[in-house]
Amino acid sequence: MLKQRVITAVALLLVSLPALLHPSPVALGVLGMALVSAASWEWGRLNGLSFATAFAMPAVCILLFLTYWSRHQYLLVSQLYWLICMAIWFFTILIFLNKGSSAWQATPQLFRLCLGVFLLFSTGLALLQAKLVGTLFLISVLCMVWTADIAAYFVGRRWGKRKLAPSISPGKSVEGLAGAVVAVWLLAALWIAASVHFYPTSGDIFNKLFDLGLPYLLFGLLVLTLTSAAGDLFESLIKRAAGAKDSSQLLPGHGGVLDRLDALLPVLPLAVLMSMF
């Protein structure tokens, strides 16, 4: 299993790093839509579609992306779009994490599928938009989410006692979430200190928030970290409603694409929105 995980991780890096670092956003946009297409197929499968009919989900996502690309190309989407996107994310997470997986299962299938198309397409679009804001900005957001995820896992294993959401994801703890917040704050401090010596601009998420003041930095990163945890829990809720351990087996040793993107789904749109203020 470990060997399989390592091989898959290396393959993903070999594909994603050139697209991430390339000066043109086209490569990353294509990669983002490929990931979103796979994740949308998984969303369809988790929400009652058959193997074949679930391909309608990526077809719709690709059509939406091509429509956007033909009209806007490298233009940033308006702030209003991201405000609406985050409002939908906020109410979706608030309602379903509060009511549990049974409420999600009882929700009309068409609504769940349409919601999935919108949220996943918006994540793919946010990935491209973050690249347009700046490669360093996107890298800093990714590092923040990965740091939060790793810290939550290890702090939760070592000191976790109080369950964060036992009916949805029994392995997650309040202590783990607190550790994630502290780890992200520490990452920001190290990043900002290093940026003084290695690059003069403040294009990353940490310096953008710090330029507004220390309270904005601490609060902004707190919100982003909580949002990443909420995205993780929401995906766990969907899997629990479907009775599935993983979203699929598309990534050997890692489960599905949704399993790897869960925390990023709401964070990328929120980070793009923050960059516009």
**Predicted confidence band of residue 208 (pLDDT cuts 50, 70, 90):** very high
Convert the pLDDT of each residue in 229-265 to its tens digit.
Answer: 999 999 999 999 998 888 888 776 667 888 888 899 9
Are 39 and 102 within 8 A, CB to CB?
A: no
Question: Is residue 230 within 8 Å of 266, Cβ to Cβ?
Answer: yes
Question: Cα(104)–Cα(12) distance, rounded to whole angstroms?
Answer: 31
pLDDT given for residue 187 in this prediction: 96
Token readout for 210 is 């710090």
Position 2 confidence tier, pLDDT thresholds 50, 70, 90 = very low
Tens digits of per-residue pLDDT, 171-207?
889 999 999 999 999 999 999 998 887 776 678 999 9
* Interatomic CA distance for residues 12 and 42, integer angstroms: 18
pLDDT per residue over 179-188, tens digit each?
Answer: 999 999 999 9
Cα 150 to Cα 148: distance, rounded to the nearest angstrom: 6
**Mean pLDDT across the stretch 69-88?**
84
Predicted structure pTM score: 0.92
Contact 196, 169 (CB under 8 A): no
Query: What is the rounded CA–CA span in Å between residue 133 and residue 125?
Result: 12
C-alpha closest to that of 148 among 210, 223, 209: 223
| Lowest mean per-residue pLDDT among 3-17, 200-214, 256-270 | 3-17
Between 253 and 166, whose confidence is greater?
A: 166
* pLDDT value at residue 66: 86
Can you read off the two tokens belonging to residue 245?
């351990």
pLDDT, mean of residues 67-83: 81
Q: What is the pLDDT of residues 126-148, one digit of tens each?
A: 998 999 898 999 999 999 999 99
- pLDDT, greater one: 160 or 179: 179
Print the SS3 string covering the chain: CHHHHHHHHHHHHHHHHHHHHCCCCHHHHHHHHHHHHHHHHHHHHHCCCCCCHHHHHHHHHHHHHHHHHHHHCCCCCCHHHHHHHHHHHHHHHHHHHHHCHHHHHHCCHHHHHHHHHHHHHHHHHHHHHHHHHCHHHHHHHHHHHHHHHHHHHHHHHHHCCCEEECCCEEEEEHHHHHHHHHHHHHHHHHHHHHHHHHCCCCCCHHHHHHCCCHHHHHHHHHHHHHHHHHHHHHHHHHHHHHCCCCCCCCECCCECHHHHHCCHHHHHHHHHHHHCC
Structure confidence at residue 224 (pLDDT): 97
Model confidence at 60, pLDDT cuts 50, 70, 90, reads very high
Please check the confidence at residue 108 and state whether its pLDDT lies above 70.
yes
- The mean predicted confidence, pLDDT, of the chain is 89
For helices 2-21 and 135-159, give the axis angle rounded to 10 degrees. 150
Alpha-carbon distance of 121 to 117, in angstroms, equals 6
Sorted by sequence, the CB contacts under 8 Å of residue 242 that are 6+ apart come out as 46, 47
Residue spans per domain, the chain = 2-275
